[in-house]
Amino acid sequence: MKKAIIYGVTGQDGSYLSDLLLSKQYTVYGITRRSSSDNTSRITHLLNKNNFNLVQGDVTDTSSIYRLLNEVQPDEVYNLAAQSHVGTSFGQPQLTWCVTAQGCLNILEAIRSMGNRPRFYQASSSEMFGNQYNLDINHEKYQDEQTTFSPQSPYAIAKLAAHNAVSLYRSSYDLFACGGILFNHESERRGERFVTRKISRYVANLYWATQRGRSIPKLKLGNLSAKRDWGHAEDYVEAMWKMLQQAIPNDYVIATGNTYSVEDYLKEAFKCIDTNEYMDYVEIDQSLIRPSEVPYLRGISKKAEKRLNWKASIGFEDLVSRMVQHDIQSSSKHEENYTTT
């Protein structure tokens, strides 16, 4: 039975990856930071499973990393830990760097010191591309493994540093280390600070408010024109796992190949409750517009399709529908928190 360590297990990707590995008969050690508040809501269904172990640790604490790796002797290590909100990184650049960049380096150094080295996955990000892109034969913009990096936020800078560290340790120390350059991936388990979940929760609460003859405040959003390549996290964690099953380590772009604006997402979400006048419910809040915005992301995953036999299976419309329907089903009892008198 294989053993895997997942840093960042309580996040969206960590919970789906745990589901996947447990279904493949792994023993999973999920690492979570000590916190005064309960942050295990996404993995509650895993806590009583025999092969799932929740362990306190931190990617910024080198002693706990060394101790855990030597005690567990894992076959695979997945680093999904990060300060993962781009907007927040502008206000907390040092924290973002320490967790996202230095944390990855701490794990790489610990693995390098081991006799039986586990395979390592690093969660890289499409935000590293910034405003750079290639053009296809139809003059459509896209990014792939050959696109130049040009980070436009403290988050992207930290992710690129970690990504480069993976490449360096792979070539210099012969580590089996892979970087997954994942484009935006959402789900019913997405954090509520991310724009997709913010929209889906609002639409769900609007649905229930309308059913009860009530009104709710407008939805405050920032830049509606930013375009992103949105997939479902359940698809993307499968790509993570497949990277570590290959004979040779490498980096891969993981994306759907399609791009939609924030306004497209907004429109699709309101369609789920048969409402076309979505802008009647939106207020543009200038404070939510980032100092530096990445305008366009569309990933091409031909390398992953060929070498990993991976392709996204959940499309944009299905993704949005799943998120909205989930929030409609779960938000009825919380709707009163959004109503006005």
50-101, pLDDT tens digit by residue? 999 999 999 999 999 999 999 999 999 999 998 877 888 898 999 999 999 9
Task: Give the pLDDT mean for 268-274.
Answer: 97
The CB density around residue 177, as the number of other CB atoms within 10 Å, is 31
Q: Which of 127, 188, 238, 268 is catalytic?
A: 127
Q: Which domain holds residue 291?
A: 195-226+259-295+314-338
Q: Which of 15, 125, 126, 153 is catalytic?
A: 125
Domain annotation covers residue 309? no
Which DSSP symbol is given to 10? T
Tell me how far apart the alpha carbons of residues 258 and 317 are, in angstroms, rounded to a whole number: 12
Domain annotation covers residue 286? yes
Residues near 45 by beta carbon (within 8 Å), at least 6 away in sequence: none
Among 215, 167, 340, 196, residue whose Cα is nearest residue 272: 196
Amino acid at site 110:
A
pLDDT of residue 334: 56
pLDDT of residue 57: 93
Task: Give the pLDDT mean for 326-336.
Answer: 75
Q: Which residues are bridge partners to 313 per DSSP?
A: none
- Kindly report the length of the chain: 341
Q: Which of 155, 169, 260, 338 is catalytic?
A: 155
Tell me how far apart the alpha carbons of residues 274 and 321 are, in angstroms, rounded to a whole number: 12
pTM of the entire predicted model: 0.93
pLDDT bin (cut points 50, 70, 90) of residue 36 is very low
Q: Are residues 237 and 264 both part of a single domain?
A: no
Q: Is 278 a catalytic residue?
A: no
CA angle at 313 for the pair 310 and 315, rounded to the nearest 5°: 135
Q: Is 125 a catalytic residue?
A: yes
Pick from 32-36, 79-83, 180-184, 272-276: least confident: 32-36
Q: Are residues 28 and 127 both part of a single domain?
A: yes
pLDDT of residue 37: 54
pLDDT of residue 106: 97
Crossing angle for the helix pair 262-271 and 195-211, to the nearest 10 degrees: 30
Q: Is 127 a catalytic residue?
A: yes
- Looking at per-residue pLDDT, the higher value among 155 and 88 belongs to 155
Our count of domains for the chain comes to: 2
Q: Are residues 289 and 167 both part of a single domain?
A: no
Query: Over 90: is that where the pLDDT of 333 sits?
Result: no
Domain annotation covers residue 169? yes
